[in-house]
């Protein structure tokens, strides 16, 4: 009995190696048998993990313990059950992006050739206007129709799928009355065209390499191609890059806005051509708008002209001998200075 217990602990199949018997420690068969869950004594080693651990294991097979609820691995949810949730999250994110960040627009005409071709898809930055940023000269912007500029233009009727995708921003919206042009003048600017050009902003000529090949910067006609306008505050003056094929601000000077586009109508700036892949490109501000085109305010010009005059009169008065002042004396120095 003692040899069998020792052999079971050693895990060896062959004859056990001879070892000296410890006279103090009792043999394995003399050890106190472990109690089972029922309180009855059992053979040593029959209860897995009960020897010296005090864990209170039930003595069942470890494989059975792994099947218990506390040890069972969590079952993953089916992909088909998660798919509606993923679609819902994607739609919400797309709607938020379209509303506050970026929206896709389709180019329906040739008025911006060759910068933009008919059928191009552009991505428009809608975020910066939320922070009070206003359009700048040279930007290509998308804006809502300010005064029925698109009256009479054919509108494509989208199918239900296109309506949904357009509403969430996954494809250009087909029923929005929007236009895309280049900003030439902002509030306070004077924009003019004489003859075939060049186009001038605040008296400075623009070098316009983006104008459609074969076009002249200014159109020679009596319908609006020859003009000189001053842009009101809160408005912009826009023109297409295909100058002889663009019904822009020049040809709407008789509408309620006199051809100007309210800044509030601007959806955002077109920043990149996203489709087709062969047309991928950014839409930066041309270098010609980097020159100082700002218009000097009339008040500033008046002040700049008045200062030298005042200084000259002061010096002239200081060089004269001070004379006694009498009531009604029209010869008092400075009596004729402009207020």
- Dig out the tokens for 50 from the structure: 């009960």
The DSSP string of 135-180 is --TT-EEEEE-SSSTTTT-------HHHHHHHHHTSS--SS--EEE
User: Is residue 85 scored above 90 in pLDDT?
Assistant: no
Contacts of 291 (CB under 8 A, 6+ apart): 204
**Is the C-alpha dihedral spanning 223, 229, 233, 239 positive or negative?**
positive
| Residues 195-247: tens digit of each pLDDT | 999 999 999 999 999 999 999 999 999 999 999 999 999 999 999 999 999 99
Average pLDDT over the chain, rounded to an integer: 73
Q: What is the pTM of this model?
A: 0.61
- What pLDDT is recorded for position 172? 56
- What pLDDT is recorded for position 243? 97
Backbone angles phi, psi at 204, to 5 degrees: -105, 130
Q: What is the mean pLDDT of residues 23-51?
A: 45
Report, as residue numbers or ranges, the catalytic residues. 111, 181
Q: Where are the strands (E) in 9-161, listed by range? A: 102-106, 121-125, 140-144
Q: Minimal CA–CA distance to 135: which of 120, 149, 150, 125? A: 125
Out of 50-59, 278-287, 304-313, least confident range: 50-59
User: Is residue 140 scored above 60 in pLDDT?
Assistant: yes
- What pLDDT is recorded for position 300? 42
- What pLDDT is recorded for position 129? 74
Q: What is the mean pLDDT of residues 44-69?
A: 46
């Amino acid at each position: 009995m003692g040899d069998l217990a020792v052999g079971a602990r050693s895990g060896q199949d062959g004859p056990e190696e001879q070892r000296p018997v410890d006279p103090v420690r009792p043999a394995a068969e003399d050890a106190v048998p472990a109690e089972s869950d029922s309180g009855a004594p059992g053979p040593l080693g029959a209860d897995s993990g009960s020897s010296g651990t005090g864990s209170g294991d039930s003595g069942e097979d470890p494989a059975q313990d792994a099947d218990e609820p506390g040890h069972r691995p969590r079952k993953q949810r089916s992909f088909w059950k998660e798919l509606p949730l993923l679609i819902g999250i994607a739609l919400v994110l797309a709607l938020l992006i379209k509303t506050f960040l970026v929206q896709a627009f389709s180019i329906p005409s040739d008025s911006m050739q060759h910068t933009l071709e008919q059928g191009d898809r552009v991505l428009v930055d809608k975020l910066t206007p939320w922070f009070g940023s206003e359009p700048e000269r040279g930007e290509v912007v998308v804006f809502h129709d300010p005064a029925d500029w698109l009256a009479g233009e054919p509108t494509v009727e989208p199918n239900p799928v296109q309506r949904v995708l357009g509403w969430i921003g996954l494809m250009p919206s087909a029923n929005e009355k929007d236009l895309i042009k280049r900003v030439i003048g902002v509030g306070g600017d004077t924009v003019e065209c004489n003859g075939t050009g060049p186009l001038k902003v605040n008296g400075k000529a623009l070098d316009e390499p983006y104008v459609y090949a074969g076009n002249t910067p200014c159109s020679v006609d009596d319908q609006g191609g020859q003009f000189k306008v001053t842009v009101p505050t809160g408005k912009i003056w826009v023109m297409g890059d295909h100058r002889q094929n663009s019904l822009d601000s020049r040809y709407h000077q008789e509408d309620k806005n006199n051809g100007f586009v309210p800044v509030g109508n601007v959806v955002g700036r077109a920043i990149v051509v996203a489709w087709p892949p062969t047309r991928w490109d950014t839409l930066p501000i041309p270098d010609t708008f980097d020159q100082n085109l700002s218009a000097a305010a009339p008040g500033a010009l008046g002040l700049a002209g008045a200062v030298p005059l005042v200084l000259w009169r002061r010096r002239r008065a200081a060089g004269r001998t001070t004379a006694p002042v009498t009531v009604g004396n029209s010869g008092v120095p400075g009596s004729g200075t402009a207020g």
